[in-house]
Amino acid sequence: MQTMTWNDLPVWALLADRDILRAATPERRLTDVLTDVSAVITTVTAFDLMPAFAVYLADSQHDRDRLFHQNAADELSLPLDICPDQGLPPGASSRSKAATYPLTLHHPSGGRMGTVLFFGRTGKRMSQEKLAILRMLSEEIGTIIAHRNGCTGTLLDMVELSTDEIYVFDPQSLQITRANATASVRTGYSAQALSAMTPAELKAGVSEADYRARLVPLMLGRAQKISFDTIQRRRNGTVYPVKVHVWRIKGQESDLFAEVAIATADQRKAFGLLEQVFDAIPGGIGVFDNRSRLLMANRRLYDLMNIPPELFPPGSAFEDILRYNACRGEWGDGDHEAMVRERVEQAELGLPYSFERERTSGKVLAVRSEPLSNGGYVLSYTDITVRKRAEKDLIRNRDELEKTVRQRTAEIAAQAAALEEALQQEKNINAMQRQFVAMTSHEFRTPLAIIDGAAQRLLRKKGGIDAAFLGEKTQQIRSAVARMVELMESFLSAGRMETGKAELSLVDCALHKLVEQAIKRQKLSSPHHRFETDIDALPPMIRCDALGISQVITNLLSNAIKYAPRAPDILIRGWEEEGFVFLSVRDEGVGIDAEDIDKLFQPYFRARTSTGIAGTGIGLSLVKQIVTLHDGDIFVESQRGKGTTFTLVLPVKGPARASETEAAAETHAA
């Protein structure tokens, strides 16, 4: 085949190149540009590629290409470096027969920069002509990287793009000279604060002398790299396990050391969301294990108990927290140790209990303990000071009522209203906490048990793990973590709706594209379901919050799959009538009892036909609230055992109030 030039390219290839150049705007981060470029190339139908992509840059010191950027699919496990002579990383894809395309990246000046990897969906390789086009489009990647940051392929070039903590420091003083954004986010210290610290100061229980002792092999040139496990400490006093690697790197004037700290918790994303939920709860929450050691606590807990977080990070004993309060007079006179033992024993009985406690500051707390199914317990603290003060005022006014009925009537009414408001607020907080504790005890137990079981099986198999077994257990862990993330995201969205913080971001949106994208995502999780669409009658554009309506469609399709496991056919219809767009989703699943339909959109309600099917009861409540914000509506038709149809109704021009505001703004501008 003759050498292909840009003049020989078909129209679809030229359009792809145009989209690549549009993505490479100078004000965007390089990692975002590469993600968009990979999406442009892998979605070209003619290439038949997986939505996966990896860029390896040449490391001249080690004659290997090191991973610089990746957008990997779930079934891929990419190594950190590859041999440029081989290109294909062994075992990178669980699809052993799938075609792999390692292409060389060239610098605009002509030198070799590294390797870019693409992965086919099947074992059938693309034609030489298409491969030549793919190679030409890939050369744009080398040009983008070279012009954006002049990468050389060394460790320092990958500092800002790394998702792990990276610290470059002086080997003599140990002072940090450079830290990436991930280090600031993970530890809570600003870049300026980190530049005044040493890596040893970020380690729990590791002195500077201990850290220097670990560096001796590097200092003496006996090793190229040292590795060890330790505990990293955040600015707020909390800790997390990391795997630390330290290298000697060449500087312009003298050698430097580089430390990479890799968080080892598989569920760090899910736990990050869990911490967000904890901090969003108005009351104080503390989770303790079966040995009464603190696993997790929100900021409000430390505020209500008036204890410093740095003194009692996760891992602290409950009795130490109690002893701290007792010794500063929180419980009055008496045998402090006896009081501590009594309260610890009560907590460890595994029975629910509650009481009210007035602190020396006058603040009144309602304390409640709920046991966990796997041992341990959850303690919640609610500030009921306002309610208690209102109760005392009410009692005092009642005693004086006979003498001051006429003068005090208005004041008593105001105080009663304040008491009612405080009581209602307490009920709402308690309901939220009970729901959260229930979800922690039940919904989280299944994915956590899956993760624990899979991890134990892997430990027992160490030294003899085959790829199929490892892939199966890894997928189990990933699916369980994904379920936890889904639960947390639903809970956070519900919280925003309930607090009135949710706002619409209205844009002109192609509804049929939102439907097609949602169907595509659902096919990945449930390939045996068949989606039939009749949406040609939808208008080209509607005015809506694209993210919110996408969430509504995804929820309806997900429910259709979940509640119709043995009925694979799902019908989606769309049409327009008198300024409104209609979108219906029908399944042939378990259906809903007639008496449950009116309650279907209430928070946390689950129909009787959903017994045995995982869920929180949050999804449809969110759907209803999002649709209501759009001045729309949603209807349900269902019969037990005969399937369900949800029909979504939205105004084509968007919510009336938003339309009036936009029209007024345009008139004012004119």
**What six digits make up the tokens of 326?**
């007792």
Residue 611: which CATH number?
3.30.565.10
**What six digits make up the tokens of 440?**
């922690």
Q: Give the model's pLDDT for residue 91.
A: 45
- Within a domain: residue 494? yes
Contact residues for 451 (Cβ-Cβ < 8 A; gap 6+): 266, 267, 476, 477, 480, 481
Residue with the bigger pLDDT between 360 and 670: it is 360
Main-chain phi, psi angles of 329, to 5 degrees: 90, 15
Q: Are both 279 and 407 inside the same structural domain?
A: yes
Q: Give the model's pLDDT for residue 272.
A: 61
Q: Per residue in 252-299, pLDDT tens?
A: 567 889 999 988 764 455 456 566 766 777 888 888 888 888 888 888
Q: Are both 525 and 547 inside the same structural domain?
A: yes
Q: Confidence class of residue 154 from pLDDT cuts 50, 70 and 90?
A: very low
Q: Tell me how many domains the chain contains.
A: 5
What is the mean pLDDT of the segment spanning 79-101? 65
Q: Are both 286 and 419 inside the same structural domain?
A: yes
Whether the CB-CB separation of 613 and 503 falls below 8 Å is answered with no
Tell whether the model's pLDDT for residue 307 goes beyond 80: yes
Give CA–CA dist 10/20, Å, rounded. Answer: 16
Q: Give the model's pLDDT for residue 587.
A: 93
- Within a domain: residue 96? yes
Give CA–CA dist 100/90, Å, rounded. Answer: 11
- Within a domain: residue 1? no
pTM over 0.75: no
Contact residues for 219 (Cβ-Cβ < 8 A; gap 6+): 171
Residue 27: which CATH number?
3.30.450.40
**3-state DSSP of 232-276:** EECCCCCEEEEEEEEEEECCCCCCEEEEEEEECCCCHHHHHHHHH
- Within a domain: residue 670? no
Q: Give the model's pLDDT for residue 531.
A: 94
Please spell the DSSP secondary structure of 445-470, one letter per residue: HHHHHHHHHHHHHHHHTTT---HHHH
Q: Are both 328 and 197 inside the same structural domain?
A: no
Q: Are both 251 and 314 inside the same structural domain?
A: no
Give CA–CA dist 400/407, Å, rounded. Answer: 11
Give CA–CA dist 33/53, Å, rounded. Answer: 13
Whether the CB-CB separation of 491 and 439 falls below 8 Å is answered with yes
Q: Confidence class of residue 551 from pLDDT cuts 50, 70 and 90?
A: confident
* Domain of residue 527, residue span: 506-657
Of 40, 30, 52, the closest CA to residue 137 belongs to 40
